[in-house]
Amino acid sequence: MNKYLAEAFGTFWLVLGGCGSAVLAAGFPEVGIGLLGVALAFGLTVLTMAFAIGHISGCHLNPAVTIGLWAGGRFDGREILPYVIAQVIGGIIAGGILYLIASGQVGFDVAGSGFAANGYGMHSPGQYSFSAVVITEIVMTMMFLIVIMGATDERAPQGFAPIAIGLCLTLIHLISIPVSNTSVNPARSTAVAIYVGDWATSQLWIFWLAPIIGGIVGAVMYRVIAGSPNPRHAVI
């Protein structure tokens, strides 16, 4: 049970810190933290939680990571469902707290603000097409899994995995926030989409499917590149 609680709390922090920075601080009032700040916030949530709970659960915080690690031979398939449930619950709770905070501002409109939800077409920050968003989410998650598996390989320098993985997530956001608002994490997408409803929930399926495909592809590719699974531990 400790592992599942750790995953729930870790995903809670990822959503509150990452999506919270986008909703509350990105453009406040005119000199906010901007795209760079939001990207860094997401990376910092993973980095800090990796040190906090990595030794308890592996600090996946992401269904695509959990499934990808299974595909890469690093994770027991029997643990996938409870990990994913814990991640989604933790994210939804964080989304609820973020909603309560944001709605305390005069004139707040969850649908109008977007609430850091992921989307394509007219709901993409840069108005990117469905195909562009799908390609972006698959490729970004693929690279995330390659970095995760490489950084936690028993042959990699020890103790630096959280830094590499956190910086990788920051880079992913710097590249893809304009395209899809950056998911690469179905739990993160679900956590805010359910409060926006409407278009956010109708487009949510692609932010489950594309990251999971990317995670599986990245994990399998790393096994090919590395030559052997080398499972030091689940992840971080």
Give the pLDDT of residue 64.
97
Residue type, 80: I
pTM of the entire predicted model: 0.91
pLDDT tens column, 88-106: 999 999 999 999 999 888 8
> CB under 8 Å to 145, separation ≥6 — which residues?
64, 65, 68, 69, 72, 214, 215, 217, 218, 219, 222
More confident call, 27 vs 122 = 122
Residue 233 pLDDT more than 80?
no
Give the pLDDT of residue 107.
79
